[in-house]
Homo-oligomer: A and B are copies of this chain.
Amino acid sequence: MIEKLIDAIEKKKAPIVVGLDPALSMIPQHIMDEAIEKHGETLEAAGEAIFEFNKAIVDATEDLIPAVKPQSAMYERYGLPGLAAYKKTIDYCHYKGLIVIADVKRGDIGSTSEAYADGHLGKVKVGNTEFAPFNADFATVNPYLGSDGVKPFVDVAKAHDKGIFVLVKTSNPSSGEFQDRMLFGDEGVAGMPVSGASVYAGHLSNEAEDVKKPLYQYVADMVNLWGSESLHGSYSDIGAVVGATYPEVGEKLRKVMPKAYILVPGYGAQGGKGKDLKAFFNSDGLGAIVNSSRGIIAAWQKAPYKDTFDEYHFAEASRRAVLDMKQDITSAVGL
């Protein structure tokens, strides 16, 4: 799947992804009113308003972008009707030819992680009939439970030509509380490195026992391990999430994980800028894809776009914001 993402990035000359993370407060009143007129003040109305909002933004930006990243939390917030909007959004984006990165940050133990992977990336059988329940192309995965929480995602991705992005260093202010903690080498850790990862095993085991590295760097080492059997050309289907808000960490991790595509959240609303992002990319202009959510989908409510676009032109504001983001990033990274 990573080669399809790279192909789309190169064709559209846009290493960017639009985060479809709608809150009702971002949705123009006339869309909300229409949904409430149809469904009353119900969760169904919220779901319909969310989908109509997404659809308009996708219609206005699909020729510019390779991918979208719906954030499952914003849909789960509205229960089953919210999740119906999530599924409709994925299907609509596929219909428009976009790659869908499901930002679900799931992670559990073995067979339970497999169930998540089946549902979001893979297939399930009922009787003799097969279904792809959510059918995203990539999913984000939380590594806290270790290899047997992540490997089922790797395996399901491999079986269905999908990919994952593992959280390594997140964009939020307190991401350092645990992720930046300095760790000792392999001391006290059973079962490292994981078996079947011969490519990187030497790299890990050659380290002195008293080497200190932050936790995120150990996770990055594991991303290399997990991804070593999912290579397609220069990159692996197993990528990593590294926040735009920590460019010095991005620079380091770019070198630590040479084969991992980096999904970079935190651009725009969270403070990251194009010039800070060069370090996340390789010299070929590839290796990273930058997400913006609120900065694009709520552009009509924010300077400088709100002076030009009213609520009836929110999708055009999103298009303008995508064009500006694309310019900011491609001029910095030289794609």
Contacts and interface: CB of A to CB of B under 8 A. Distances in A.
Interface in A130-167: 131, 133-134, 142-149, 167
B128 A179 contact: no
Given A76-B116, A178-B146, A43 B133 contact: yes
Contact of A107 (B82, B128, B142): B142
Contact of A79 (B87, B128, B191): B87
Contacts of A46: 124, 126
A106 B108 contact: no
A192 B113 CA distance: 31
Assembly of this chain: how many copies? 2
A13 interface: no
A222 interface: yes
Contacts of A23: 111, 115
Interface string A56-89: 0000000000000001011011111011100100
Contacts of A144: 142-144, 167, 170, 178-179
Interface string A24-49: 10000000100010000111011000
Given A119-B78, A182-B183, A21 B112 contact: yes
Contacts of A183: 181-184, 215
Interface residues of A, number: 81
Contacts of A233: none
A190 B171 contact: no
Interface string A3-30: 0000000000000000001011000000
Nearest to A148: B174
B178 A218 contact: yes
A145 B116 contact: no
A249 to B, nearest CB: 12
Contact of A133 (B41, B76, B105, B142): B76
A212 B212 CA distance: 12
A189 B175 CA distance: 10
Given A129-B42, A144-B178, A116 B172 contact: no
5 contacts: A71-B112, A73-B116, A79-B119, A149-B172, A176-B191
Given A146-B172, A180-B188, 12 more contacts: A36-B126, A73-B113, A76-B115, A76-B116, A79-B131, A80-B84, A109-B175, A144-B167, A145-B174, A149-B170, A176-B188, A181-B188
